[in-house]
Amino acid sequence: MRHDKGAGSAWGEWDAIGIGWDVRGWQGNAQAVALVAWRRGELGVHWLGVSPLFRLSSRAAPDRYALLMPLLKEKGRCDALLAHPRLAIGIDAPLAFPRAFCALLAGQGEAVPVPEREIDNPYAYRDCERWLHGRYGKKPLSASFDRLGNNASLALVMGAALAPLVRVPQQAPAAARALLEVYPALAKQGGRGTSARPAIGALLPADLQPGTDPYDAALCALMALQYAADGAVGALPPLQAPPADFPRDEGWIYHFAP
């Protein structure tokens, strides 16, 4: 895949860096990671690389090297990257399960009426997913009821491995190095499998194809970059953060509002 000239030789030359991970589950052989950077005063972005498709090794627990080595090739480069003062990792998998579902597993579940709509089932969906559905009419997959649980459990394990280096924003809202749940489908013209909206698509590497895992990883990276830059990347739309009064114990799905 395409690499920017001198990629990784001096992470400090960039004011913000975004990493995108298209999560494909524990046995998935189509994981993809993308890396993009921004320099203050410049309108565009710089792509520092998009990994080939890879599978996580079955010989070790998932960690930062398992995630980044397919792209960066050297552990020292991985460590130096994750030490950058303004960095975010955007992943397209839940970083939390519904609170009612967690209580149910802990033996503390309460009886609830059968909901009229699936989206209102507290065991299946989180408040942030109901917010997305109400705002955009988009219903994400359920981590507890659908196969997305495979990706979600892997994301949570990887998040724990990255915890000393990055923070989930609902746990540390002012985190300069953050791990975000993002939603690439909302950056597209017609949902999953279609191309990005023109203004966003113009910023993607030209050799990426819509509907592929590297393409989605790159969209995740752009959302992460806008977070790391505190919304200052002028070529990108604003990143939708949670409303000030929104409960954050179940997390939030960062996205470019359609």
- Cβ atoms of 91 and 161 within 8 Å: the answer is no
**Residue 8's pLDDT band (boundaries 50, 70, 90)?**
very low
End-to-end, the C-alpha distance of the chain in Å comes to 28
Q: Smallest Cα–Cα separation from 104: which of 128, 122, 117?
A: 122
Contacts 24+ apart (CB under 8 A), 234-240: 234/43, 235/43, 235/44, 235/45, 235/199, 235/203, 236/45, 236/200, 236/203, 237/199, 237/200
pTM reported for the whole predicted model: 0.93
> Residue 193: pLDDT above 90?
no
pLDDT digits (tens, 9 = 90+) for 81-99: 999 999 999 999 999 999 9
All domains of the chain in start order, with CATH: 11-94+149-256 (3.30.420)
pLDDT digits (tens, 9 = 90+) for 19-68: 999 999 999 999 999 999 999 999 899 999 999 999 999 999 999 999 99
Provide the token pair at 248.
């954050």
- Cβ atoms of 50 and 1 within 8 Å: the answer is yes
CA distances in angstroms from 158 to 32, 52, 78, listed in the order given: 14, 19, 15
